[in-house]
Chains A and B, each alone.
Chain A
Amino acid sequence: MILRLSNRACVLSGSARLKSTLSTFFDEMGKAGIVLKSASTGIFENLALEDWIHDRVDLQNRSMLLLWRNSPVVVIGRHQNPWQECNLPLMRRLGIPLARRRSGGGTVFHDFGNINMTFFTSKKKYDRHRNLKVVTRALKALRPDLDVAASDRFDILLNGHYKISGTAAKLGRTSAYHHCTLLCSVDRSILPSVLKSNTSEVIKSSATPSVPSPVKNLLDVDPTLDSNTIMDAIASQYSNEFGFDSPVIKVDPTHEGLMPGIHKMAQDLQTWEWIYGRTPKFSVCSSIVVEDVTIKLDMDIKNGAVEQCAMEIPENWLPSEMVNEFTSTLNGSKYCPNETAVLVAAFMRTVSMTADVAVKIHRLCAGVVSVM
């Protein structure tokens, strides 16, 4: 059975109507507060679950807390520029995917050592400080000596200095959600390198920048604190804080029957157009060195695609018509190393060139791709 409940909740009876969805199930439960745990560790499935609850569940008289964790992934905020925020070539080599969430805020790295919490409320009851109190009080209930406190910027700081939680929020027409991370035992060896862009100096953009902060894991200060203990503590503190008698329900975000439309939501979040194409307009201005020749590269990127591309190349290195044809090949293409490689390969097949020109074009392509 997809929904599994903890001891103190009601049982999903087999007589559930065929047409009932998760939403009607919540209505029938009649509880003012519900805690959910996602059974999935896939970022896109979990983000789709957030979307689904935000869009389809009636939150006017009910609030919810969703606890979820993901396999390693970098998540950027709604209006951010991934080329500015993280090291995409490193992520590709390590096989760490990139996701863009629908809420604002900065870039974070998730893995199994990070707990995500999403507080769903009506717009009227949207109160981020109160939500963060749930987290800090839960941690203090577990370990009274722990120095954790929320800051003005909705971060949670450990020992007044290390950031262990960041916040983002999304407000719709009638309801809102506030989600935050909690670093329990995240892999600190990858985190800093993956979140440091290799091309930020060459990019000019108005996208929301992230504010880098020193971070620490809760496990570093107390090796006995593990994610499951912390999640349980947060769930019960949630009930205490808001006066709910919340059952804890495990939800499988891939169950299309219970949540019609959720599969498409997950698909939409994985398209190139959403993850990369949603980047606000930016320009790239870089000098690349190929065969001891310095080449100036200027590109305007809109909706993740090259709107305009200009290159300053010494005439004796490559004839200007060749350069113009090369840049026109890139116009309109996605700002993506794979697509650039394919287009340049087609360019090299169809334009006749000598062997050494071919080598130059090949190296030029490598230089251009290095900023993508």
Chain B
Amino acid sequence: MATVITVRAPFAFMRRLVSARLHRHCCSKLQAACFVSRPHSYSLIAGQQHRFFRTSYVAARPVMQFKLSDIGEGIMEVTVKEWYVKEGDKVSQFDSICEVQSDKASVTITSRYDGIIRKLYYDVDSIALVGKPLVDIETDAGQGEGPQEDVVETPAISQEEHTHQEIKGHKTQATPSVRRLAIENNIKLSEVVGTGKDGRILKEDILNFIAGQTGAILPPAPFQEIRPPPPAAAAPSAPAAKPKEKMTPPSVPTPAIPKPVFTGKDHTEPIKGFQKAMVKTMSAALKIPHFGFKDEVDLSQLVQLRSELKGLAESRGVKLSYMPFFIKAASLGLLHFPILNSSLDENCTNITYKAAHNIGLAMDTNQGLLVPNVKNVQMLSVFELAVELNRLQTLGAAGQLGNADLTGGTFTLSNIGSIGGTYAKPVILPPEVAIGALGKIQVLPRFNHKGEVVKAHIMNVSWSADHRIIDGATMCRFSNLWRSYLENPASMVLDLK
């Protein structure tokens, strides 16, 4: 901590040269675990003079007019294209202030000072003149927290200070206070990863770097919490069985654990876009009383069938997964249980049985959950289904799904198992009344009809349905039918339309 001796002239605000020395800061009687700081870090930087200013809070702080410097090529005027700051913002030296454009050249104007923006001289799209003021910056003394607040360190030879930590062309951006912290702890700025704007190194980065080195996080201020020894006068009513306790204070002081400093901040942002869509849809789904029904499907025969057909599909230019089979089986089941392909109106007075089976497919894209649907599955063959799925998957990955593909669904399947999981509790997407979630296919031991243990490919399915119009028995019978088509794919051939 710097002790500052100031002399102020009366009637006027005057800055004077002050000298400062760092003293060891000892906050308690115990010296053992004091934070050791370099006693004279400033004079370590050989040959440099430093002036310390103490600014009074009473008088005005200096407002520097930052003029637009020469761009080169004899350019006299530029168009201001974007402001990165507004009036009242705090800026550090080298922060970007604005972007100006002149004749196909885009120029980033950076701040020369640390301070607060007090005035912007131009609006966006106005012409700014070279050599005329661009912004007013109030250079302030409020740099850093804690004890350094009053003191502004302004080295007389600013260029050298900044290049002090430049390692051979690797420019590191950091404010003077951050550089000082690095020097005090013998840290090379080039080894610290900067997390600030433009890769600038912040105080938190130095602290984290120190923590990485020592395995503990050191507090910025030289202050340690040291637990004092238990007072000798404690517990006068202690039982006589433990006479020693009162008498003897511990000979070794308990280890002091520095308080970790957490510099993370909460981050709030508005819900928009894809998230907003999901919030809306799922909130509407709350109105539906869901019931769940889970079952296990033995896909051993289907696995074999698919492996036989995969090559043929690829020769036709289509990737064949299990989904076309699941979807087609669902459509065949819906022919017998049309209530699962219906919609309930808002007042729950009418059911509409939808003629088309537009089966939706929950898709995980990098922007979130999308549910495009395949139209008229009842008219498509398994191969045609695979083609449609490929098309939707390609569009989904490219972020080009349109409204036509995203609306009109009547029933949905979610293949969450492709990512992982066994059982799920899917949420019905209004205005539909049922949804199924498919877990991953696992190879598990099962008994066959002869009572032998065999390898089986098992997948779990989790159905949810609207209990206002669908009962458990209906769901169960549908699930059994769907399961039977998949466990014995040959039976699908009989009923394929």
Q: Which residues of A contact B (CB under 8 A)?
A: 21, 23-24, 26-27, 55-58, 77-79, 92, 102-106, 123-124, 126-128, 153-154, 167-173, 176, 178, 206, 208, 261, 280, 305, 332-334, 337-350, 352, 358, 362, 365-366, 369
Q: Does B258 contact A (CB under 8 A)?
A: no
Q: Would you call A345 and B273 a contact (CB within 8 A)?
A: no
Q: Would you call A128 and B73 a contact (CB within 8 A)?
A: yes
Q: Would you call B403 and A106 a contact (CB within 8 A)?
A: no
For residue A167, which residues in chain B have a CB less than 8 angstroms away from its CB? 104
Residue of B nearest to A60 (CB): B169
Q: Give the distance in Å from the alpha carbon of A352 to the alpha carbon of B105 in the complex.
A: 53
Q: Give the distance in Å from the alpha carbon of A197 to the alpha carbon of B346 in the complex.
A: 44
For residue A346, which residues in chain B have a CB less than 8 angstroms away from its CB? 276-278, 280-281
Smallest beta-carbon distance A118→chain B, Å: 13
Q: Would you call B106 and A23 a contact (CB within 8 A)?
A: no
Q: Would you call A369 and B273 a contact (CB within 8 A)?
A: no
Sample (23) of A-B pairs whose CB atoms are under 8 Å apart:
A24-B170, A27-B169, A58-B171, A104-B101, A153-B103, A154-B103, A169-B105, A170-B108, A171-B107, A173-B94, A261-B199, A339-B274, A339-B367, A340-B403, A341-B403, A342-B370, A342-B401, A345-B403, A346-B278, A349-B280, A349-B281, A350-B280, A366-B403
Query: B168, B270, B404, B406: which contacts A58 (Cβ < 8 A)?
Result: B168
For residue A55, which residues in chain B have a CB less than 8 angstroms away from its CB? 171, 198-199
Question: Given A102-B106, A171-B107, A79 and B168 touching (CB < 8 A)?
Answer: no
Within 8 A of A (CB), among B81-115: 81-82, 94, 99, 101-108, 110
Q: Would you call A348 and B101 a contact (CB within 8 A)?
A: no
For residue B270, which residues in chain A have a CB less than 8 angstroms away from its CB? 332
Smallest beta-carbon distance A269→chain B, Å: 15
Q: Which of A58, A102, A345, A348 has the most CB of B within 10 A?
A: A345
**A105-B104, A337-B402 provided; 11 other pairs, C-beta below 8 A?**
A21-B170, A24-B168, A27-B169, A79-B81, A103-B105, A171-B106, A173-B108, A206-B125, A346-B280, A352-B431, A358-B407
B contact residues, range: 35 or more
Q: Does B71 contact A (CB under 8 A)?
A: yes
Binary per-residue interface labels of chain B (268-310) against chain A in the complex, 1 for a CB within 8 Å, 0 otherwise? 0010111011101101100000000000000000000000000
Q: Give the distance in Å from the alpha carbon of A146 to the alpha carbon of B304 in the complex.
A: 67
Q: Would you call A79 and B73 a contact (CB within 8 A)?
A: no
Q: Would you call B407 and A345 a contact (CB within 8 A)?
A: yes
Q: Give the distance in Å from the alpha carbon of A246 to the alpha carbon of B199 in the complex.
A: 30
For residue A170, which residues in chain B have a CB less than 8 angstroms away from its CB? 105-108
Q: Does B124 contact A (CB under 8 A)?
A: yes
Q: Would you call A345 and B125 a contact (CB within 8 A)?
A: no
For residue B110, which residues in chain A have a CB less than 8 angstroms away from its CB? 172-173
Query: A333, A349, A362: which contacts B429 (Cβ < 8 A)?
Result: A349
Residue of B nearest to A128 (CB): B73
Q: Would you call A365 and B403 a contact (CB within 8 A)?
A: yes
Smallest beta-carbon distance B94→chain A, Å: 7
For residue B105, which residues in chain A have a CB less than 8 angstroms away from its CB? 103-105, 168-171, 178
Q: Does B430 contact A (CB under 8 A)?
A: yes
Q: Which of A171, A208, A352, A366 has the most CB of B within 10 A?
A: A171
Q: Give the distance in Å from the alpha carbon of A127 to the alpha carbon of B403 in the complex.
A: 51
6 tightest A-B contacts by CB?
Answer: A58-B169, A104-B106, A346-B277, A169-B105, A345-B406, A105-B104
Q: Give the distance in Å from the alpha carbon of A275 to the alpha carbon of B277 in the complex.
A: 23
Question: Given A23-B170, A127-B73, A171-B72, A342 and B400 touching (CB < 8 A)?
Answer: no
Smallest beta-carbon distance B406→chain A, Å: 4
Q: Would you call B272 and A332 a contact (CB within 8 A)?
A: yes
